[in-house]
Amino acid sequence: MRAVLFDLDGTLIDSAPDLAAAANAMRGRRGLPALPYARLRPHASSGARGLLRAAFDAEPGQDRYAALRDEFIAVYAGLMLERTALFPGVSELLLRLDAAALAWGIVTNKALRLAEPLAASLGLLAPGRVLVGGDSTPHFKPHPAPLLEAARRMGCDPAGCVYVGDDLRDIAAGRAAGMAAFAASWGYLGEGAEIGAWGADAILARPIELLNWLELA
């Protein structure tokens, strides 16, 4: 493998506390009680779409959805740096990849206006580091276009890349891009997820386990 690409939310960073707080802040504005964190966390990988479904039973295509989505993004942008942090073990993993001179980057469905300051605040950006967001190509994951764009920017053949993510769409995107696809079982996974049925090349219990598959351990 010549490069590793990571999903952001639920894979590198634990952003669920701030995403859940944004959803509950919106409920509070409407006089609704806060939902338990455990109920909201599984939806965090789906961003606004997942949180609005859990908090308001709102779906894309509904008349009210666009306004709720815009409100959610505005609320979240104001608090997204409060409790979000790297998952345990991620920092060590990335340091080991850097020490081995193995290129790595990020491919997320999060819009760049949110992903860039968030990644920068957690030390995930550096000169030349690839970050492909949800508005970097005309398509979102599970379409392979964002992953292929990241490989292009890194000058890597997709077949020489591995993509790590915590959602079924991450594995589907990796497969469609011709990359190895690893499931991050420490992530959010989605409600009722059966990670063993995703068709991942490997299921990682901890970030550092990736080194074994890359023969860097």
Report how far residue 182's alpha carbon sits from residue 213's, in angstroms, rounded to the nearest whole number: 10
Please report the pLDDT score of residue 84 as a whole number. Answer: 98
Please report the pLDDT score of residue 1 as a whole number. Answer: 84
User: In terms of domains, do 8 and 26 share one?
Assistant: no
* 78-126 pLDDT tens trace: 999 999 999 999 999 999 999 999 999 999 999 999 999 999 999 999 8
User: In terms of domains, do 40 and 142 share one?
Assistant: no
User: In terms of domains, do 207 and 114 share one?
Assistant: yes
User: In terms of domains, do 107 and 143 share one?
Assistant: yes
CA-to-CA dists, residue 51 to 33, 88, 162, 182, angstroms: 15, 24, 28, 24
Domain around 25:
16-79
Please report the pLDDT score of residue 25 as a whole number. Answer: 98
Regions in the chain scoring below 70 on pLDDT: none
Among 7, 18, 166, 170, the active-site one is 7
User: In terms of domains, do 182 and 75 share one?
Assistant: no
* 43-53 pLDDT tens trace: 998 899 999 99
Please report the pLDDT score of residue 21 as a whole number. Answer: 98
3-state secondary structure the chain: CCEEEECCECCCEECHHHHHHHHHHHHHHCCCCCCCHHHHHHHHHHHHHHHHHHHHCCCCCCCCHHHHHHHHHHHHHHHCCCCCEECCCHHHHHHHHHHCCCEEEEECCCCHHHHHHHHHHCCCCCCCCCEECCCCCCCCCCCCHHHHHHHHHHCCCHHHEEEEECCHHHHHHHHHCCCEEEEECCCCCCCCCCHHHCCCCEEECCHHHHHHHCCCC
Give the domain-ending residue among 63, 79, 95.
79
Catalytic residue list contains 157: no
Please report the pLDDT score of residue 191 as a whole number. Answer: 75
Closest alpha carbon to 197 in 163, 173, 172, 176: 172
User: In terms of domains, do 104 and 116 share one?
Assistant: yes
User: In terms of domains, do 126 and 95 share one?
Assistant: yes
> What pTM was computed for the model?
0.96
User: In terms of domains, do 119 and 189 share one?
Assistant: yes
User: In terms of domains, do 98 and 183 share one?
Assistant: yes
Please report the pLDDT score of residue 45 as a whole number. Answer: 87
Please report the pLDDT score of residue 128 as a whole number. Answer: 82
